[in-house]
C-alpha cells in the first residue's frame, strides 16, 4: 500500500464503496505509526459509528486485504495497514512494556525457512517481542 494513497483511492482500487466508516478507519490506520486496537480506533475517531457498522467495516477491510489483524499473546487484536507485496515476510515488533505493535521494514528481516519438498510458502508472519526504543 502506498503511503501517499488516500483512503478513497485504496477503497476504489479494491472495488469497495467509499463509506464514511471505511474512510475514517482507514485514515486512522494510515496516520498511525503503530497498530491499533478496535477501541483505540474508536477513541480517536470519536465513536462516530454504531457497533455493527464499525465491526463490519473492520471485517470487510481485512477480507479485502487492505488491513491485517495481529493477535497478541493475551488474545488482544490490533490492526494495521497491509503491505500488498506477495511472497514477503511480514514482521511486527511488540513492546512488552508499552504494548505497542509496529510493522517492521521487511527488507531488514532475513528469515530462512526450509520447507519439506512440495511445500510452498505464501506468507510468513513474524512477531518479535522486546522493548521498543521509547521504553528502552
Helix locations, 32-112, DSSP H: 38-45, 51-63
Please say whether the dihedral angle defined by the alpha carbons of residues 35, 39, 43 and 46, taken in this order, is positive or negative: positive
Fold of 7-81: Arc Repressor Mutant, subunit A (1.10.10)
pLDDT tens digit string along 84-125?
Answer: 555 566 788 999 999 998 888 766 677 778 889 999 887 777
- Please tell me what DSSP assigns to residue 96: T
pLDDT tens digit string along 38-64?
Answer: 999 999 988 899 999 999 999 999 999
Rounded CA-CA distance 45/60 in Å is 18
71 to 37, 101, 118, 136: CA distances (angstroms): 10, 10, 29, 23
Nearest to 104 by CA among 86, 87, 122, 129: 129
- For the chain, residues classed under CATH 1.10.10.10 are 7-81
Amino acid at each position: 500500500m502506498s503511503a501517499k494513497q488516500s483512503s478513497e483511492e485504496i477503497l476504489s482500487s479494491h472495488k469497495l464503496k467509499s463509506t464514511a466508516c471505511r474512510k475514517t478507519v482507514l485514515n486512522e490506520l494510515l496516520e498511525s505509526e503503530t497498530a491499533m486496537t478496535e477501541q483505540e480506533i474508536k477513541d480517536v475517531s470519536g465513536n462516530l459509528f454504531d457497533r455493527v457498522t464499525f465491526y463490519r467495516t473492520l471485517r470487510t477491510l481485512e477480507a479485502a486485504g487492505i488491513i491485517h489483524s495481529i493477535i497478541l499473546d493475551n488474545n488482544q487484536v490490533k490492526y494495521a495497514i497491509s503491505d500488498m507485496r506477495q511472497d514477503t515476510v511480514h514482521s511486527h515488533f511488540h513492546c512488552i512494556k508499552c504494548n505497542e505493535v509496529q510493522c517492521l521494514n521487511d527488507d531488514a528481516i532475513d528469515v530462512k525457512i526450509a520447507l519439506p519438498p512440495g511445500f510452498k510458502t505464501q506468507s510468513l508472519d513474524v512477531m518479535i517481542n522486546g522493548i521498543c526504543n521509547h521504553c528502552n
